[in-house]
Structure 1
Amino acid sequence: MTAMIPTAHHGPWTEEEYLALGEDNDRIELFDGDLHVTASPSPWHQRVCRKLATSLEEGAEDRGLHVHWAVNLRLKPSRIVIPDLAITTVIDFDERVVPGSSAVLVCEVTSPSNAATDKVLKMHYYAEAGIPWYLIVEHNTFALRLFRLQGGTYVERHTAEPGEVLRLIEPVTAEIRPESLLPPR
């Protein structure tokens, strides 16, 4: 099913109206009653997400957690975001929307068109929702930046540039080399 965004909509969008849009190739998120629409991710972006998910999968499964690509994550009523990756506890796989309270880590892969949204707005939203870990993949430097929620804000815990290794012990165990996520040149 392809979503058709009505051009004549008055007032804030409700969660019901948002969900009635259906599935689409574009990413449509609900930010406090407003729709935030971005185009489908580039092949570069998709590859980084796939390789990162593969790197996290075994460590997640060992802890009874699940790795998801681009799921609808409800942070609060009228706020449904679509992180590039989310690691969750047990969820209902038949539901279209995953409760934010089940997320233990979210990841965003920045791109030139969305870096500010990922580094400021979504970081704030994820912190406000109480998601313990936030991972950012920097498009311009290929760095991996891991943040831990402390006192309601994210504090950077680890950074790995190409040539280095990001070693996670929480919420999953994994070792990730930034250059391993990149497409061949």
Structure 2
Amino acid sequence: MTAAVFGHDGPWSEEEYLALGETRQRVELFDGSLHVTRAPTPRHQRISRRLGNLLEPGAEALGLELLEAVNVRLRPDRIPIPDLVITGPIDLDDPWIDAADVKLVCEIISPGNAATDKVLKMHYYAAAGIEWYLLVEQETLTVHLYQWQGAHYAERSVTKAGEALELTEPVRATVRPEELFS
């Protein structure tokens, strides 16, 4: 992949991005530019798995899919890889999930990547009309739930260690931050 990335001139198209194939790094496409981050830490992945385990029964009860680290096409040339998504029925063999099928998107903030998740991705997910955004902050043991309101997200709840987030939409689940981080 390194030769393909560094030998490339000009903006990246979706076709060129998808031709990179699977990589160890997270490679996302933002308006013709590649955003490359190293693989998540074991702590990050444990939080993702534990949160996914909490959300999956509610998703399955409604015939929805819970998926980890998949391409989500927000619009042409804009394909992030969220930590978790809940979608409606999809073709599991497609190279990406269309934003219109996503019910909830979740990002777990890594210490070196906070601005991307809190600003850039939040803006892009809102612009794509994804109704629910769940943002998990590792450093403060906090879970933020946002709901789409036109062009932006409105914060619906902030849940800290010792408290419980009772999700009722798009799925039913109880999330206790300390259980994600312990």
Common fold: TM-score over 0.5: yes
Amino acid at match of 1:144: V
**Contact 2:13/2:32 (8 A) holds in 1:** yes
Instruction: Provide the C-alpha distance between the structure 2 equivalents of 1:162 and 1:72, rounded to a whole number of angstroms.
Output: 30
State the Cα distance separating 1:6 from its structure 2 match.
2.7
**Contact 2:87/2:103 (8 A) holds in 1:** yes
1:133 has 2:135 as partner: no
Equivalence for 1:20? 19
Amino acid at match of 1:156: E
State the Cα distance separating 1:13 from its structure 2 match.
0.2
1:81-120 residue pairs with structure 2 within 5 A? 81-120=80-119
Instruction: Provide the C-alpha distance between the structure 1 equivalents of 2:95 and 2:5, rounded to a whole number of angstroms.
Output: 21
Deviation per CA, 1:117-136: give whole Å up to 9, x if none: 00000000000000000000
The two structures have a TM-score, normalised by structure 2, of 0.97
Deviation per CA, 1:30-75: give whole Å up to 9, x if none: 0000000000000000000000000000001111111000000000
Instruction: Provide the C-alpha distance between the structure 1 equivalents of 2:22 and 2:150, rounded to a whole number of angstroms.
Output: 36
Amino acid at match of 1:29: E
Unaligned runs of at least 5 residues, structure 2: none
Q: SS of the residue aligned with 1:114?
A: helix
State the Cα distance separating 1:140 from its structure 2 match.
1.1
Instruction: Provide the C-alpha distance between the structure 1 equivalents of 2:62 and 2:154, rounded to a whole number of angstroms.
Output: 24
Equivalence for 1:173? 172
Equivalence for 1:6? 5
Q: SS of the residue aligned with 1:12?
A: coil
Amino acid at match of 1:35: L
Equivalence for 1:40? 39
State the Cα distance separating 1:12 from its structure 2 match.
0.4
State the Cα distance separating 1:20 from its structure 2 match.
0.5
**Contact 2:129/2:150 (8 A) holds in 1:** no
Q: SS of the residue aligned with 1:57?
A: helix
Equivalence for 1:123? 122
Count of residues in Structure 1 that have an aligned counterpart in Structure 2: 181
Amino acid at match of 2:112: S
State the Cα distance separating 1:8 from its structure 2 match.
2.2
The two structures have a TM-score, normalised by structure 1, of 0.96
Q: SS of the residue aligned with 2:51?
A: helix
58-67 or 44-53, which deviates more? 58-67
State the Cα distance separating 1:151 from its structure 2 match.
2.3
Instruction: Provide the C-alpha distance between the structure 1 equivalents of 2:175 and 2:85, rounded to a whole number of angstroms.
Output: 16
**Contact 2:62/2:171 (8 A) holds in 1:** yes
